[in-house]
């Protein structure tokens, strides 16, 4: 099959590379000539484990190529995937569909022969119908169908998620489009991964409902964590105790500094907005958004308390800036709220992150960047564990305590046990949803 992938971001590039690994002939398109130049030179513009090798293998097999020329990629394609960004629209919280509709117009002008135009971007209900209208208006003779194929991959584990998905959702209107989509996903179909075929609107809704549910689950445990601190319970034990119930499940029950990232904040905001527009307010989702903001603010209070009531003049080593480990993505990361608040309070902040610096430097002005946790901690008054990279999970605690001016830790990911920190010579510790000391 011939596939065109429009947009080579975290979703488009991974999807394009994986489709080529299925054996399809894939052309990836991006407006950004720098990205395409990098890809043509064999470099991956994002950090995603395993992507460079898989990309090189498929480029080598001549199944995968890159271009800025959308028309050339779309002509003759059996399926054209739209995987462009749908960020929050400034001002009203809605999904900004400018990039999706611009891509649809460009695709319309380039279609040849029967083509399925598939939206992979996360889009509100009704967007696929609008994409169809745009194409029909621009190219009345074009022979095409639209399909909705939302993506569920997680950054940091994206290839495995794409190759071994819990499910693939395909929203279609015609059997012809369903047949093309079945061919696209045949390798997964043959290995018995569930492919769920729905109408367009349900497919669009599934993506928002899934993300809102996950954001709710995280926020629920974060709120319970706050109460655990007040009543003397340990949220890790509570999460284990409830997670063993099969109806609840043990995933997404790790208390932390509040959700961030490129999807949950914008998708919960968009869903709340869709609810308001249809006079069906999404009250739970609206509460989740509000509570998540409060969770992040609570983290700032925690760090301030750890430093004796003020961070003014303190040196704080922040471990982790990206919104989660194994990605360089800084979009809506909790660090973007917490670090500026610390700097605003008069702290000197040193950050260390295995992949976040390239994006993070411009986003976190006033902070300095260290090469490793030990140089970040040298002479510091506190360590804040913000992103649980593997590199930060087995630190030499005694060495850290020895390097610091005052050995205090705010472990916002509950990586370390209070007893281990105490033994290593830390004088103060606060976690999330559990007892601290000092």
Residues found near ligand NAD in the complex (CB under 6 A): 6-12, 29-32, 35, 70, 83-86, 99, 102-103, 106, 121-122, 151, 153, 155, 262-263
SS3 68: coil
Work out how close the CB of 32 gets to ligand NAD at its nearest, in angstroms, rounded to a whole number. 4
Nearer to ligand NAD, 35 or 314 (CB): 35
Report which secondary-structure segment, H or E, holds 78.
Answer: none
Q: Cα–Cα distance between 167 and 140 in angstroms, integer? A: 34
Bridge partners (DSSP) listed for residue 192 = none
Work out how close the CB of 329 gets to ligand NAD at its nearest, in angstroms, rounded to a whole number. 7
Work out how close the CB of 103 gets to ligand NAD at its nearest, in angstroms, rounded to a whole number. 4
Tokens of 86: 């749908």
- DSSP codes of every residue in 124-189: -TTHHHHHHHHHHHH-TT--EEEEE------TTSHHHHHHS-S-EEEEESSHHHHHHHHHHTHHHH
200 annotated to a ligand binding site: no
Nearer to ligand NAD, 32 or 174 (CB): 32
Q: Cα–Cα distance between 192 and 337 in angstroms, integer? A: 43
Nearer to ligand NAD, 8 or 414 (CB): 8
Work out how close the CB of 123 gets to ligand NAD at its nearest, in angstroms, rounded to a whole number. 7
DSSP state of 353: -
Nearer to ligand NAD, 7 or 431 (CB): 7
Non-local (6+) Cβ contacts of 297 within 8 A are 337
SS3 1: coil
24 annotated to a ligand binding site: no
261 annotated to a ligand binding site: no
105 annotated to a ligand binding site: no
Report which secondary-structure segment, H or E, holds 5.
Answer: strand 2-6
To the nearest 10 degrees (0 to 180), the angle between helices 51-60 and 10-21 is 50
254 annotated to a ligand binding site: yes
324 annotated to a ligand binding site: yes
Work out how close the CB of 283 gets to ligand NAD at its nearest, in angstroms, rounded to a whole number. 23
Taking phi first (over 0 means left), then psi (-120 to 50 degrees means alpha), and beta for anything else, what does residue 320 get? left
Marked catalytic residue, from 18, 28, 228, 263: 263
155 annotated to a ligand binding site: yes
Nearer to ligand NAD, 274 or 383 (CB): 274
SS3 273: helix
28 is catalytic: no
Binding-site annotation: residue ranges for substrate: 152-155, 207, 252-256, 260, 324
Which residues are designated catalytic?
A: 263
Q: Which residues are annotated as a binding site for NAD(+)?
A: 30, 35, 86, 122, 155, 266, 331
Residue positions forming the annotated binding site: 30, 35, 86, 122, 152-155, 207, 252-256, 260, 266, 324, 331
């Amino acid at each position: 099959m011939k596939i065109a992938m429009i947009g080579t971001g975290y979703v488009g590039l991974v999807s394009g590379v994986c489709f080529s690994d299925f054996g399809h002939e894939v052309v990836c398109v991006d407006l950004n000539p720098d990205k395409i130049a990098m890809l043509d030179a064999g470099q991956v513009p994002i950090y995603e484990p395993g992507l460079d090798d898989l990309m090189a293998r498929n480029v080598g097999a001549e199944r995968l190529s890159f271009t800025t020329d959308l028309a050339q990629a779309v002509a003759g394609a059996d399926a054209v995937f739209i995987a462009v960004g749908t960020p929050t629209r400034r001002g009203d919280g809605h999904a900004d569909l400018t990039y999706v509709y611009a891509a649809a117009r460009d695709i319309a002008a380039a279609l040849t022969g029967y083509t399925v135009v598939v939206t992979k971007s996360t889009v509100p209900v009704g967007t696929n119908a609008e994409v169809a209208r745009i194409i029909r208006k621009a190219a009345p003779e074009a022979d095409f169908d639209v399909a909705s194929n939302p993506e569920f991959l997680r950054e940091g584990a994206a290839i495995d998620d794409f190759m071994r998905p819990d499910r693939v959702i395909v929203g279609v209107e015609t059997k012809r489009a369903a047949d093309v989509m079945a061919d696209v996903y045949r390798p997964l179909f043959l290995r018995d991964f569930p492919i769920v075929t729905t109408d367009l609107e349900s497919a669009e809704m599934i993506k928002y409902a899934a993300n809102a549910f996950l954001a709710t689950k995280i926020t629920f445990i974060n709120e319970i964590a706050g109460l655990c601190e007040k009543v003397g319970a340990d949220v890790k034990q509570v999460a284990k105790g409830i997670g063993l119930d099969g109806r609840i499940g043990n995933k997404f029950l790790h208390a932390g500094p509040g959700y961030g990232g490129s999807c949950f904040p914008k998708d919960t905001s968009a869903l709340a907005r869709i609810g308001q527009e249809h006079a069906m307010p999404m009250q739970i989702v609206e509460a989740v958004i509000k509570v998540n903001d409060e969770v992040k603010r609570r983290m700032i209070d925690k760090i301030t308390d750890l430093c004796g009531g003020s961070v003014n003049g303190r040196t704080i080593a922040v471990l982790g800036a990206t919104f989660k480990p194994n990605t360089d993505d800084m979009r809506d990361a909790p660090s973007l709220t917490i670090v500026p608040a610390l700097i605003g309070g008069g702290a000197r902040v040193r950050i260390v992150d295995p992949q976040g610096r390239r994006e993070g430097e411009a986003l976190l002005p006033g902070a300095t960047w260290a090469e490793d946790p030990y140089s970040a901690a040298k002479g510091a008054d506190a360590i804040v564990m913000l992103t649980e990279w593997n590199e930060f999970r087995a630190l030499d605690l005694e060495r850290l305590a020895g390097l610091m001016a005052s050995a205090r830790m705010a472990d916002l990911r509950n990586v370390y046990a209070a007893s281990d920190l105490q033994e290593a010579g830390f004088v103060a510790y606060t976690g999330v949803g559990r007892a601290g000391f000092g």
